[in-house]
């Protein structure tokens, strides 16, 4: 790969902390306004963002120079100078998103800042026994994709890698990933040093929340929670327009809230018992149906688990009472998790992304009862809850959103 990049591309993990009142937050406000309302006139941005005209002018000049945005002139027949509008540029930098699949491959997607896919590749890579070795393997696979894409390093603004892990995204550290030793690893630094491109790593559900915030059903929501029902129950939160993390940069783990405190509560892959994800996730339903023993998460086991879940879901939808009971229990435990979150966080809007509409139909009655029984009525009345399938092409949209938030 070419390394003829500017001096500020030093091969370190990317991720600037954005805090209230900082220049970064001001730039983010302008960028979001252009993304949401564009094409938009400069003169309208101060009202949309609360910033002065001078600040808006300075910020938009920076974005134009970096080709994050582009100008388009008003088409008019009236006399005088036509107005100039701003929009997110589809002809500027390229960003690369990568995620591991269950097929021992790495999917890489090359996207412009408008979320349009320029090219994709699925590259074989070798799973390793340690996180350090895994990072090197991922870096090698991404490097091959960049070489094959034809895009020079200088045109690639950012690389974002979604991992099924507990991740401190701001520092680029993986703290926990199933099937690996539980010790912190500077995963993003390893990637960035090899690629010589800024790199951000994050949990896959955090990526999904970014996609929803910038391009999906939470575009106009500065504060919301996304709960994703997949192999596990994962979550991500936005607060005041920014992803919310804790003291150590970690995203909230709603799925590991306790919904059963009995001595015989179901075990969870995290090592505890009674977690909501041990009842409401795909893996939990398959395990509770007696089709799995233990927590084997190798690629072949994941493929098998998803297939078995789909088969169970079809049986439940067809009226198999023994299987329907498992889905009703899933709805009850998912409802308890969400109710507890409403009581603690007042999220305003909760988007629950699910495998498909069949899951929603099977769990919604028990879910609604659990919400009503466990959430404070005043907070529940103020909270919108929506079930929906994941956005189409959310991985590419998340990649673009990641670059926009880490300008």
What is the per-residue pLDDT for 4? 38
Residue among 377, 387, 389, 390 at smallest CA distance from 342: 377
Q: How many CB atoms lie within 10 A of CB 397?
A: 27
Q: What was the pLDDT predicted at 14?
A: 55
Neighbours of 380 (CB within 10 A): 16
Q: What are the tens digits of pLDDT across the range 340-357?
A: 999 999 999 999 999 899
Classified as helix, coil or strand, 91 is coil
224-269 pLDDT, tens digit each? 999 999 999 999 999 988 888 888 888 878 999 999 999 999 999 8
Nearest partner of 97 among 191, 161, 145, 190, judged by Cα: 161
pTM beyond 0.85: the answer is no
Q: How many Cβ atoms sit within 10 Å of the Cβ of residue 299?
A: 14
**b/e map 182-199, b = 16+ CB within 10 Å:** eeebbbbbbbbbbbbbbb
Query: Average pLDDT, stretch 149-158?
Result: 90
């Amino acid at each position: 790969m070419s390394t003829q990049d500017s001096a500020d591309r030093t091969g370190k993990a990317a991720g600037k902390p954005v805090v209230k009142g900082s220049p970064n937050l001001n730039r983010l406000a302008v960028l979001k306004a252009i993304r949401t309302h564009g094409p938009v006139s400069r003169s309208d941005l101060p009202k949309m963002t609360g910033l002065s005209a001078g600040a808006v002018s300075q910020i938009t000049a920076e974005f134009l120079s970096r080709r994050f945005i582009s100008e388009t002139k008003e088409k008019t027949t009236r006399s005088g100078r036509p107005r100039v509008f701003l929009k997110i540029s589809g002809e500027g930098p390229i960003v690369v998103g990568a995620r591991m699949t269950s097929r021992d491959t790495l999917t890489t997607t090359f996207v412009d800042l408008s979320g349009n896919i320029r090219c994709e590749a699925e590259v074989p890579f070798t799973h390793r026994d340690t996180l350090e070795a895994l990072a090197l393997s991922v870096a090698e696979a991404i490097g091959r994709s960049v070489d094959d894409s034809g895009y020079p390093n200088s045109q690639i603004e950012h690389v974002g890698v979604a991992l099924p892990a507990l991740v401190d995204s701001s520092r680029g550290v993986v703290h926990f990933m199933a099937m690996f030793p539980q010790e912190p690893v500077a995963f993003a630094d390893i990637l960035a040093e090899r690629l010589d491109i800024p790199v951000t790593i994050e949990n896959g559900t955090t990526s999904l929340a970014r996609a929803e915030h910038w391009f999906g059903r939470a575009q106009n929501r500065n504060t919301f929670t996304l709960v994703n029902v997949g192999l596990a129950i994962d979550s991500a939160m936005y607060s005041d327009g920014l992803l919310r993390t804790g003291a150590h940069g970690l995203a909230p783990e709603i799925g590991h809230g306790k919904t059963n405190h009995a001595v015989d509560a179901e075990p969870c892959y995290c090592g505890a018992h009674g977690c909501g994800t041990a009842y409401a996730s795909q893996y939990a339903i398959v395990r509770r149906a007696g089709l799995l023993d233990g927590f084997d998460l190798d690629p072949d086991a994941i493929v098998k688990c998803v297939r078995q879940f789909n088969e169970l879901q079809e049986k439940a939808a067809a009226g198999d009472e023994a299987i329907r009971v498992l889905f009703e229990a899933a709805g009850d435990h998912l409802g308890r998790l969400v109710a507890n979150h409403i009581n603690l966080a007042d999220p305003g809007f909760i988007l629950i992304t699910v495998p498909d509409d069949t899951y929603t139909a099977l769990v919604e009655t028990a879910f609604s009862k659990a919400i009503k029984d466990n959430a404070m009525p005043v907070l529940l009345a103020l909270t919108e809850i929506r079930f929906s399938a994941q956005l189409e092409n959310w991985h590419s949209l998340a990649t673009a959103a990641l670059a926009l938030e880490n300008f």
